[in-house]
């Protein structure tokens, strides 16, 4: 594929071998998160904690009440854009709804260790998130373990864009990264491959083959909601 000339489309991918994609996609992925919390259940709990009706919460977020209802009832997978709107409107930190509640440790000289198996997964219809080091509430980067089941951009929840930059490393299986860059770019990554890009480019992740994919995502952002909530 010809190199993109747009200065905004800053994408770099490293490959462990394109020929490995089909084989990796057929490998069974380990499932160790049957006790995952569902995003919709977390959202409903925080909404009720704040004594917000479904209609009022939807008004604050700027979406129809039916949309929030579908999310809470596991009938819709929200994009990251929508998750950001929700956490802003409800004065939450993303880790509140994607993982353990933040313990309020601020970045800058702090040390945080997450042991194997200690990550807490949050379930969306076609994705499992396990934020790493959620105890650092003021971090400028967000490392997240993701298990991906989505087989299409639609199942993923559509293209999403947000501030900052994003790095993805495929731990197991194979992933297609779809970009809404005007050229319909799609990068196919096998186990051991990685990609780095500007998160403002609309993007979506899709699992290839017959097995789910597992990946490490590290995202940076200048978006204030990810830099710690007021009062923390």
Whether 78 maps to a domain, the answer reads yes
Domains in the chain: how many in total? 1
* Per-residue tokens: 57: 């919460």
Whether 5 maps to a domain, the answer reads no
Whether 232 maps to a domain, the answer reads no
The CATH number assigned to the domain holding 201 equals 2.60.120.10
Q: Domain of 180?
A: 11-227
* Per-residue tokens: 197: 């890009």
Round to whole Å and give the CA distance between 148 and 177. 12
Whether 4 maps to a domain, the answer reads no
Whether 6 maps to a domain, the answer reads no
Round to whole Å and give the CA distance between 149 and 127. 6
Whether 214 maps to a domain, the answer reads yes
Cα separations (Å) of 157 from 1, 160, 174, 212? 26, 8, 19, 16
Whether 2 maps to a domain, the answer reads no
**Phi, psi for 230 (deg, rounded to 5):** -65, 135
pLDDT at 226: 38
Per-residue pLDDT of the chain (232 residues; tens, 9 = 90+): 444 433 344 456 555 544 443 333 333 334 444 344 577 888 888 899 999 999 999 999 999 999 999 888 878 777 766 887 888 888 876 666 665 544 444 445 578 888 887 767 777 778 888 888 877 766 778 888 899 999 999 888 888 887 889 999 999 999 999 999 888 899 999 999 999 999 889 999 999 988 899 999 998 865 543 333 333 3
Q: Which residue has the tokens 């890009």?
A: 197
List the one residue out of 86, 77, 97, 93 whose CA is nearest residue 57.
Answer: 86
User: 117 CB contacts (<8 Å, ≥6 apart)?
Assistant: 32
* Per-residue tokens: 69: 């209802």
Whether 83 maps to a domain, the answer reads yes
Cα separations (Å) of 72 from 26, 123, 160, 228? 32, 11, 20, 25
129 strand-pairing partners:
122, 146
Round to whole Å and give the CA distance between 84 and 76. 16
């Amino acid at each position: 594929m010809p190199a993109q000339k747009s200065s905004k489309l800053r994408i770099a991918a490293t490959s462990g071998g394109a020929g490995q994609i089909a084989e990796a996609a057929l490998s069974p992925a380990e499932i160790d998160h049957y006790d995952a919390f569902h995003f919709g259940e977390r959202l409903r709990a925080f909404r009720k904690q704040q004594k917000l009706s479904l209609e009022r919460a939807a008004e604050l977020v700027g979406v129809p009440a039916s949309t929030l209802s579908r999310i809470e009832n596991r009938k819709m997978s929200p994009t990251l854009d929508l998750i950001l709107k929700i956490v802003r409107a409800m004065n939450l930190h993303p880790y509140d709804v994607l993982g353990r509640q933040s313990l309020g440790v601020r970045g800058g000289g702090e040390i945080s260790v997450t042991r194997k198996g200690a990550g807490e997964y949050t379930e969306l219809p076609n994705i499992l998130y396990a934020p790493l080091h959620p105890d650092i509430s003021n971090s400028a980067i967000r490392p997240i373990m993701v298990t991906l089941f989505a087989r299409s951009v639609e199942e993923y929840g559509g293209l999403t864009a947000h501030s900052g930059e994003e790095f993805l490393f495929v731990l197991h299986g194979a992933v297609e990264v779809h970009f809404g860059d005007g050229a319909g770019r799609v990068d196919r990554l096998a186990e051991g491959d990685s990609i780095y890009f500007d998160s403002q480019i609309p993007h979506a992740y899709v699992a290839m083959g017959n097995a789910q994919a597992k990946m490490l995502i590290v995202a940076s952002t200048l978006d204030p909601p990810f830099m710690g909530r007021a009062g923390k």
